[in-house]
Amino acid sequence: MLLGLASACGGDDAEDGPLDVYAAASLAEVFPQIDAAARFSFAGSDELATQIREGAPADVYAAASSKYPQELFEEGLVEEPATFASNRLVLIVPRANPAAIESVEDVVQRGTRLVVAAEGVPVGDYTRTVLETLGLSAALDNVVSNEDDVKGVAGKVALGEADAGFVYSTDVTPVADRVLAIELPDDAQPPIEYQVAVVDGTDDEEAARAFVDVLRSETGRAALERAGFVVPR
């Protein structure tokens, strides 16, 4: 079910243009299902936080981590963030799997072309946490590219430009015809907490609050679950 929150809220603000939602790249498939009328900017959560600090005209900020929303809240740039979803990390390889990777332990093999998200990008930090937990940090010596967001990682592996990469499980579906997913041990999964907040001083406060409310409602939760996210109970 597609929703048009900006128009549904009514009022003069709706005439000024669509709601501006700055959101983590991993939300690119599901968020348009929650508000078809909003204007989305999808990128790494760290990059979007920087843009908000520099005065970008965002109304809502949704990150794949609690780190940046909480920092912005402490700086008085967003209202108090709320958790709305979680996710899991998986390892993906091209369907042809030229490096013959069968488990996460194989990423330390000499010559493996590994692609990850850069440090500071939530999925990049989660990746490094997983490798450290599993005692596989040596795999970082095999990194051939540090991407700006999770879509960059998925794209490189899907195109065969890397032998493996770490992404969220929800990012497998868009490239499922070109990659294979390898599950990681449950005890190695980092706590992944997606948080959303209304940007302080937004000119479209009513629509921004409506977006957050629907995102956390049964309708929003159902859309997130269909996309593979885990929603808090």
Q: Are the C-beta atoms of residues 31 and 38 closer than 8 Å to each other?
A: yes
Q: Which pLDDT belongs to residue 233?
A: 77
SS3 assignment, position 200: coil
Q: If pLDDT is split at 50, 70 and 90, which confidence band does 17 have? A: confident
- What lies within 8 Å, CB to CB, of 176 at 6+ separation is none
d(CA 66, CA 82): 9
- Give the total residue count for the chain: 233
Q: Which pLDDT belongs to residue 41?
A: 98
In this structure, what token pair is assigned to residue 175? 């490239």
What average pLDDT score do residues 31-57 get?
97
In this structure, what token pair is assigned to residue 124? 């990049």
Assess whether pLDDT exceeds 60 at residue 116: yes
Q: Is 148 exposed, middle or buried (0-12, 13-18, 19+ CB in 10 A)?
A: middle
Assess whether pLDDT exceeds 50 at residue 7: no
Give the domains, in start order, of the chain with CATH numbers: 5-86+193-226 (3.40.190.10), 89-188 (3.40.190.10)
Q: If pLDDT is split at 50, 70 and 90, which confidence band does 3 have? A: low
Assess whether pLDDT exceeds 50 at residue 206: yes
Q: Which pLDDT belongs to residue 11?
A: 40
For residue range 51-106, list pLDDT tens digits in order.
999 999 999 999 999 999 999 999 999 999 999 999 999 999 999 999 999 999 99
Q: Are the C-beta atoms of residues 85 and 230 closer than 8 Å to each other?
A: yes
